[in-house]
Amino acid sequence: DKPLLSQCYNLMDFESVAKNVMKKTAWGYYSSAADDEITMRENHEAFHRIWFRPKILVDVKTVDFSTTMLGTKVNMPFYVTATALGKLGHPEGEVVLTRAAHKHNVVQMIPTLASCSFDEIVDARQGDQVQWLQLYVNADRAITERIVRHAEARGCKGLFITVDAPQLGRREKDMRSKFVGQGSNVQSGQDTDTSQGAARAISSFIDPSLSWADIPWFRSITKMPIVLKGVQRVEDVVKAVECGIQGVVLSNHGGRQLDFAPSAVEVLAETMPVLRSMGLENKIEVFVDGGVRRATDILKALCLGAKGVGIGRPFLYAMSAYGFDGVDRSMQLLRDELEMGMRLIGCTSIDQLNPSLIDTRNLGSH
Ligand code: FNR
């Protein structure tokens, strides 16, 4: 017996329900992070060091938080980021997220390591719904090329290359729960050693030799906008612009890779002033993910200059606990929070969000 869905009032509530109803292995895989999980904790806490400087007496009767990401018009400034193994949490897997993303007109990023096949997730798309592909680069580039070309042919509108995982981080909670291999239809033909946890078992194909020198090759095989997911310092954002990359996701993979990697908002705060001083702020779209749980987190990131934010675990937990209805409600809660947050800081549209609306003086002090 779990609480009624209507008793979930925020995204954190889904996490507590999920913890109680999920299988131990699934919970271990979704909730774990690297080593001592300091970065995962910091991802959320960093938002707590940013305060608003709200404007008063602005007519906020009507607020609109639609925006664009990589040329796609979306209703809200967040997207469903790629998270592997959706069927660990729900028998239908990632297509549940597809349906909710459609209902709220936000983008879904399809993971390479989805439980559903790529085509099932694309087939679940409705109307002119937009999806992006998250790519783990295979050491066998012919496989990678096939995946990328297929995604473009099937209408994906963005290629997010994960660059923070040349080797999967140690997630000890996951390792301890001795994942047994169910629920994943991943790139076949690999021997999986499940004693190291779910993550390690399915990721042995990822190429640790991937480098900047490979970027022109990706450019040559696709017309999709290319985004690097997992950028962690401003120098690499600048390098991405120089390589003709269309976007970056400042991210530490939800704290699942390098423990003591900085939170995305910290990196964002150092990145945007540098891009502005170099006149590059309109040359690249900057996204962030990690620890986003409240609309106020989203608004803070946008004030700092992010184009949008990715949300991972909360949607997995909502799906695991309540299926489609849970994800639907979690997005509705964010919608309500966004509306209220925009009104209370005195903004009626996303383009009005700017650094003068936040106080980041404490951001650097941990
Ligand atoms: C992830 N993430 C991830 N990223 C990626 O590029 N490829 C992947 O296969 C996965 N898989 C994955 C599984 C699970 C269970 C989690 C929690 C995360 C990272 C994800 O895209 C994103 O960076 C973080 O989830 C964002 O942090 P929050 O929102 O979970 O705090």
Q: Go through the chain and tell me how many residues it has.
A: 366
Token output for 339: 């509306």
Q: What is the pLDDT of residues 328-346, one digit of tens each?
A: 999 999 999 999 999 999 9
| CA–CA dist 204, 199 (Å, integer) | 9
pTM of the predicted structure, to 2 decimals? 0.95
Q: Are 135 and 160 in contact (CB under 8 A)?
A: yes
Q: Answer whether residue 192 shows pLDDT above 80.
A: no
Q: What is the pLDDT of residue 173?
A: 81
**358 membership: H or E segment, kind and range:** strand 358-359
Confidence of residue 197 (pLDDT cuts 50, 70, 90): low
| Both structure tokens of 303 | 């004030």
Q: Which atom of ligand 1 is nearest to the CA of 229?
A: 6
Indicate the DSSP class of residue 229. Answer: E
136 torsion bin: left (phi>0), alpha (psi -120 to 50), beta (else): beta
Q: Report which protein residue has its CA nearest ligand 1's atom 1.
A: 83
ipTM of the complex: 0.99
| Averaged pLDDT, 100-106 | 98
- Does the pLDDT at position 180 exceed 70? no
User: Is 193 among the catalytic positions?
Assistant: no
Nearest-CA residue for atom 11 of ligand 1: 83
Confidence of residue 188 (pLDDT cuts 50, 70, 90): very low
Question: What was the pLDDT predicted at 168?
Answer: 87
CA dihedral of 12, 306, 64, 67, whole degrees rounded to 10? -110
Q: Is 9 a catalytic residue?
A: no
Q: What is the DSSP letter of 67?
A: E
Point out the least confidently predicted range of 30-34, 71-75, 188-192.
188-192
What does residue 359 show for φ and ψ, rounded to 5 degrees? -115, 110
Q: What is the pLDDT of residues 77-96, one digit of tens each?
A: 999 999 999 999 999 999 99
Given pLDDT bands bounded at 50, 70 and 90, which one contains residue 194? Answer: low
Between CA 207 and CA 174 the distance in angstroms is: 22
Ligand 1 centroid to Cα of residue 265, in Å, is 16
Higher pLDDT residue, 141 or 197? 141
Active site residue 351: no
Residue 53: CB atoms within 10 A of its CB come to 12
* Whether the Cβ atoms of residue 57 and residue 290 lie closer than 8 Å to each other: no
Mutation test residue for ligand 1: of 37, 253, 298, the one with most atoms within 8 Å of CB: 253
- Give the position of tokens 């066998």: 140
Residue 176: CB atoms within 10 Å: 13
Separation CA 225–CA 246 (nearest Å): 6
- Hey, whose CA ends up nearest to atom 6 of ligand 1? 162
Check if the beta carbon of residue 174 is closer than 8 Å to that of residue 32.
yes
Q: Which helix (H) or strand (E) holds 95?
A: helix 95-104
